[in-house]
Amino acid sequence: MTSAKTSVMTIVRTESLSRVYNPDTVPVHALRDVSIEIDEGEFTALRGPSGSGKTTLLNMIGGLDKPTEGKVFINDHEISNMKDGARIDFRLHNIGFVFQHYNLIPVFTAAENVAFIMMLQHRNKREIQERTDKLLRQVGLGDRQDARPAQLSGGQQQRVAVARALASEPRFILADEPTANLDTEAAMNLLDIMEKMNREQNITFVFSTHDQRVIDRARRVITMVDGAISQDETQHQS
């Protein structure tokens, strides 16, 4: 029987991924032989206690760190062996990031924060303006384009961060504890926005999280313990 998965594009693949910090002093095995695949359109959560390796795995997938052993493929491009400059350029055009602490540029407006990634991609001014307007409307901040981060709530700042992550039209979004600093209402609003983008635009999201609110929304949950995958399950949702 042919699996339905054959019709779905695998956009992330890791092979026997290991990461050891301080190998010459006191070795810390952050990842142990991790092999996973993430398909286009997934809404996946990596969960586990602190030190379980979920953020390390996210950083490997995003090209923010290199494995000690193993390989990372994005759209069949091996990024784990790329030189730093090539990996940075690849990230710019293929991967969007949402961080726990927003990482917005404080002197930029919401619109400027979103536009900045596209400026780095050397897009034309009109395209940047139109896409910035569209994305900020999608995250419910069309009327706050001129506000700087200090003038926005935590939930609004994180929505700007989501818009910024999407600005480059990446293959997928990596979100590291995106709701950790948000109250329940702001977290639920953010998750509503991301889930809607996932369902309506087939945008792939991979979360690293402790937050049960995120885990409950995920359609796939990968549990990590001591740097290894202990469980990988699909959740059926209405």
pLDDT at 3: 44
Distances (CA, A) of 219 to 90, 97, 187, 232: 27, 20, 17, 11
Predicted TM-score of the model (pTM): 0.90
Q: Write the pLDDT tens digit of every residue in 156-187.
A: 999 999 999 999 999 899 999 999 989 999 99
Pairing of strands 77-78, 43-47: unpaired
53 and 112 Cβ atoms separated by less than 8 Å: no
Which tokens in the block code for residue 61?
A: 């997938």
pLDDT at 236: 66
CATH code of the domain occupying 4-234: 3.40.50.300
pLDDT at 4: 46
Low-confidence stretches of the chain (pLDDT < 50) are 1-5, 238
| Sequence spans of domains, the chain | 4-234
pLDDT at 8: 80
Cα-Cα-Cα-Cα dihedral sign, residues 85, 87, 93, 98: negative
